[in-house]
Chains A and B, each alone.
Chain A
Amino acid sequence: MDSSMTESTFPTKPKWRKVVYGGMQPGFDDNHADESFLEDMVTNANVVKRDMLKVMQDSMSISQYLCIVALTGLVWIYTLRSTLNENSLLLLDVTLLGLGFLILLLTQEMLSLNLLLHYLLNVTFFTTGLYLLAPIYQTLTRSISSDSILAVTVSLLVLHLFFHDYFGSTVRTLGALNNPTLTSCISLNASVVASVFIASRLPSTLLVFAIMHFSLQVFLFAPLVTYCIRKYSFRLHLWFSFGLMIVTLAFVYALHLFLFVMFLGLLIIVTVVCPYWLIRMQEYKFEIHGPWDEAKLCFDIID
């Protein structure tokens, strides 16, 4: 740099300062940069050190939900094949509803009769509405071929899984503050449309009602129930996930060997490979902060 040349002409060299006023600093060119250059730069200030076990445990929520959706798919398949009849489906609905309520009531701190009544009233409305609408659902897609419907349903389920909010619940408990995000709403709607499509391929109105009731229960309330379990006890959540995984794998195995291998692979990727990959990727993390960043306000702006 030229500053070293001009240095000799100034016997008492004034110190270079990091200021821009007062014109060119004597003895230094405008492109001078001393050791204070970039000293205010902070790298990777907000990076969280992740450890493998923790990430694997967190990924359990995803595999758990994958299992729930897989089980729903299995119920759909068995219903379409007429292996499950109306009575067993209705029994399943009632059992799931009762279990869900039980878990919700046990895990929630404030157990009140009022809340229970509120929930019961809602469920009654929901069931009645569904029963009345069932004939419409049944004939909804009569003019469309089953192949197209199945293809669309599978795509909608993939969309649902892609956008699903795995760590919250789109349907909130009473008094929850946060509004659901756009993506979680898209996800929920995709799953509801998928259920309607499947239901529309069924032969009887009661069957349509039963399958719709089942699907909506799962897609609307299963995230809420698992969320409550996770909030209540993480250990219970882990055991519950494990149990669910084993049950699902067993059922899928009974259905088809190839699907079993695929599903097992998917679960392994989600719980083992992806966390490992994430940890490895952390090495490449490079965040830069410095005085050029826009300052963040330390208070909330209420409009």
Chain B
Amino acid sequence: MGERKRHRILMVSDFFYPNFGGVENHIYYLSQCLLKLGHKVVVMTHAYQNRSGVRYMTGGLKVYYVPWRPFLMQNTFPTFYGTLPIVRTILLREKISLVHGHQAFSTLCHEALMHARTMGYKVVFTDHSLYGFADAGSIHMNKVLQFTLAEVSQAICVSHTSKENTVLRSGLPPEKVFVIPNAVDTAMFKPAPTRLSRHEIVIVVISRLVYRKGADLLVEVIPEVCRLYPNVRFIVGGDGPKRVRLEEMREKHSLQDRVEMLGAVQHSQVRSVLITGHIFLNSSLTEAFCIAILEAASCGLLTVSTRVGGVPEVLPDDMVVLAKPDPSDMVQAIKKAISILPNIDPEEMHNRMKELYNWHDVAKRTEIVYDRALKCSNQNLIKRLSRYLSCGAWAGKLFCLVMIIDFLFWHLLQRWQPAEDIEEVPDFVLSHDQDAGISPDNKNQSFR
């Protein structure tokens, strides 16, 4: 096996630090591990408040905060062609060989992938979420996704359920869609140094308190469990519109001393909350992957979760108790979890998680996808247009028009600002030792 090919990857998404969430985490850790593997990684996202321009993070990860303001839920305003000049400049400056977009509702990602395809780059797309097929919003999103994925070289999903969903939504052949899960930084989520006593059982909930995360299920489940087990206590972390309902429930059943509401929990504080509990309760109504479960399991907590989306695939059966998203079934599941709690050793659970999930493994698997993507053959505009045309009677023609205008715009730009005039960035190699890895301390330093 000769010298491995070094990729030069541009990660594009609207979602990146300082924002927090599954996608942000995924991009950050994946980039760090790809850097370790010797690839060059550049991240492109939109500006966050006054964080605009180029920043460097741990391990020499270069981040372009493109000065486009988010207009809705951290998304940039869709302009189709507004981002072409800056995307082109970044691609040329950084001598990118492959563009990797993340998350289906990131407009920046869709636009960048479109421009990259126009300019003949290979693109990979990762889908982090699930969508239904019934409501108008989903129908629109599915059409947009079909447009982006019509030409994507390879796609990645975070779970098998997510893959099925993506294949249905976009009409991609299943063999073009890879399943590569998220992982968890097990070094960051260690169990408590001393084992907690079993006199009192603490159930931890950490999620945004919104409908989709099943906050209404919690309102039904918590009083019932408190009634059945006088030695159970709840800790609820997170904020959201449904917090009022939970507080009302607490008043109504006078559980003030048994249900603790922490409000919003910083991501850096999540571990310290998790290790105070025995059981982690996830009540989501839809979930493509659920990193929260991984974090809890890594801290040695037994997980009780609703059986939705990709959740059943995430953990082995002996590490999680699954239930239907209905209050009585969830109470049964908590009962079961309390009964098997004496057999759970947090330290052992943590060690198992170390073997099950690893960001380096994720990066290696993603590398294979990149290799595949680069092997795909190049196609000329006419051939590509025919693929868009097959996307639908009206949508197909619309997609073609969008692509043709993009193509013309690109040629205009090439006249106006020839590629030779764009200065290339010299590569520098950071002499990092392997141990000073991707731990959160280093990461936080880069913010301050």
Contacts and interface: CB of A to CB of B under 8 A. Distances in A.
B403 interface: no
A30 B355 contact: no
Given A30-B179, A30-B369, A288 B168 contact: yes
Interface stretch (A13-21, A112-120, A264-272): A13-21
A303 B132 CA distance: 26
Nearest to B215: A301
A109 interface: no
B286 A20 contact: no
B286 A292 contact: yes
B162 interface: yes
A174 interface: no
A98 interface: no
A292 B130 contact: yes
Interface residues of A, number: 30
Interface residues of B, number: 52
A292 B164 contact: yes
B327 A31 contact: no
Which of A19, A40, A288, A289 has the most chain B CB atoms closer than 10 A to its own CB? A19
Nearest to A1: B175
B158 interface: yes
Contacts of A289: 133
A55 to B, nearest CB: 23
B85 interface: no
B365 A24 contact: yes
Given A20-B159, A291-B308, A303 B245 contact: yes
Contacts of A147: none
Given A20-B159, A33-B175, A288-B133, A294 B313 contact: no
A278 B174 CA distance: 34
A5 to B, nearest CB: 13
B176 interface: yes
A22 B355 contact: yes
Interface stretch (B39-47, B76-84, B356-364): B356-364
Nearest to B355: A22
B220 A292 contact: no
B174 A295 contact: no
Given A37-B174, A292-B164, A293-B286, A298 B181 contact: no
13 contacts: A20-B179, A21-B314, A22-B355, A30-B180, A37-B164, A41-B168, A288-B168, A290-B165, A291-B309, A292-B132, A294-B132, A297-B326, A303-B245
Given A290-B161, A292-B132, 13 more contacts: A18-B313, A20-B313, A21-B313, A21-B315, A30-B178, A41-B168, A292-B161, A293-B286, A295-B308, A295-B325, A297-B216, A297-B326, A299-B326
Interface of A: 1, 18-24, 29-31, 33, 37-38, 40-41, 287-295, 297-299, 301, 303
